[in-house]
Amino acid sequence: MSSTVDRSLFVLPNESPVCLLDCTDAFKGLTDQEKKYAHYISKASFDGALSVFLQVSPESPAIFYVLYHLFKAEPIETLKQKALTVGFSEDEWTALLVYTAGFYANSGNYKGFGDSKIVPHVETSKITELVKTSAASSIPGVVEAWSAVEAVVGSLDQGQIQLGYGEEGVTCYHSDNVTQEDANKIGRFFKAYNMEQWNTRLFKENCDGKVVYRVKVASSEVGASKEHAFEDSTVIIERGDYAPIMGLVQKWLKKATESAANDNQKKMLLKYVEHFGNGEISAHKDGSRYWIKDVGPAIESYIGFIENYRDPAGTRSEFEGFVAAVNKETSKKFQALVSRAEEILKRLPWGAAYEKDAFLKPDFTALDVIAFGSSGIPSGINIPNYDDIRQK
């Protein structure tokens, strides 16, 4: 660890609060059909969010694999006794639980909001002993996976403490040798071909002295690649990134169509299924158009590669899926605000020049979250993020 880094800035305090999302009343108020609809989209959201671990850092998938089996293979009280036996203190055991919760909440070992690394507040050597003595040690690959990432899990060396390009930080949106200049060039390529980068990753190779950029597109279909000459480089577009995960998303969304409340919902889901199959953003946009038309649903949801906060280039997005039930009483207050918005806007402390010529009334609702597969749950969202859809 670098002597200039304050380790306390990268650990989650044992006193970190746990906020429970209570959707009990909202869920009970749903019909059986609505509950099934919510269930299957929740499954799609959580399974799809596994791809986020693959987007964040090289070690995140292995950490996930180890922690998942560590806490599943035996009762937690039994595991705690083993931890105390190999030298954990009570505080260190709590620290491991907090690290695990933080790791899951952020879908990786870097913060979803802030991009800084999260390290356990217990020596990794003690975690190693716990893994070796736990019931999970008999599961194929668990001990080997932990051995492969043990050194980096607690490391705060420069270049590992935050997300970023190459030597500046860590990311799995690009290969280590991708620079800002490379990202800008690929941005020009996508613009020239009228394509979008939301669900892609970028890898740079040198072949016989020539730079080759390999753009991997998230899709269940693993199709033939397309090669393009651009500027002084070659750009290859490949489908099939996260293919098994995208296949699971499709599976659950297809099941959800059987419980759709109306034709808009069904068409929306089928367009999403198409998008996760072939990776085409146009299909996801079409699904979003049906989503907009589905005004005032009992179950609200959205799913896809949505927010680009954690990509150093700010162009590629991580997977996100949520399901929520509308809180009807709170929504009435929001709807009253919307209905009076044009009147209220005139009273705000800025002139009309700072407002749009015509106010477009949003569908503004309060939601009780049932499931949210992502690297963090925001207090509010404004979607879809496609400007060509949102502005119209």
Confidence at residue 79, expressed as pLDDT on a 0 to 100 scale? 98
> Which of 59-68, 88-97, 196-205, 295-304 is predicted with the least confidence, judged by mean pLDDT?
295-304
CA separation for the pair 176, 165 (Å, rounded): 7
Band (pLDDT 50/70/90 cuts) for residue 12 is very high
Burial of 153 (0-12, 13-18, 19+ CB in 10 A): buried
Confidence at residue 328, expressed as pLDDT on a 0 to 100 scale? 75
Which are the contacts of 198, defined by CB distance < 8 A and separation ≥ 6? Answer: 281, 284, 304, 305, 308, 315, 316, 317
Q: What is this structure's pTM?
A: 0.89
Rounded to an integer, the average pLDDT of 47-57 is 97
Confidence at residue 3, expressed as pLDDT on a 0 to 100 scale? 53
Could you tell me whether strands 226-230 and 210-218 are parallel, antiparallel, or unpaired per DSSP bridges? Answer: unpaired
Percentage, residues of the chain above pLDDT 90: 75
What is the tens place of the pLDDT at every residue in 302-340?
Answer: 999 999 989 999 999 999 999 999 877 777 888 888 888
Band (pLDDT 50/70/90 cuts) for residue 175 is very high
Q: What top-level class would CATH report for the domain 243-390?
A: alpha beta
Domain map of the chain by residue range? 58-167, 170-241, 243-390
* HEC sequence for 163-202: ECCHHHCECCCECCCCCHHHHHHHHHHHHHCCCCCCCEEE
* pLDDT greater than 70 at residue 48: yes
Nearest in space to 41 (alpha carbons), one of 374, 303, 240: 303
Band (pLDDT 50/70/90 cuts) for residue 345 is confident
Which are the contacts of 372, defined by CB distance < 8 A and separation ≥ 6? Answer: 21, 45, 320, 321, 322, 323
* pLDDT greater than 90 at residue 357: no
CATH architecture of 170-241: 2-Layer Sandwich (3.30)
Tell me how crowded residue 332 is: count the other CB atoms within 10 A of its CB.
11
* pLDDT greater than 70 at residue 14: yes
Instruction: Give the distance, in angstroms, between the CA of residue 41 and the centroid of all CA atoms in the same chain.
Output: 15
* pLDDT greater than 90 at residue 157: yes
Confidence at residue 1, expressed as pLDDT on a 0 to 100 scale? 44
Rounded to an integer, the average pLDDT of 197-226 is 93
Burial of 322 (0-12, 13-18, 19+ CB in 10 A): buried
Rounded to an integer, the average pLDDT of 176-184 is 94
SS3 241: strand
Q: Which two tokens stand for residue 163?
A: 């997300």
Rounded to an integer, the average pLDDT of 97-117 is 95
* pLDDT greater than 60 at residue 2: no
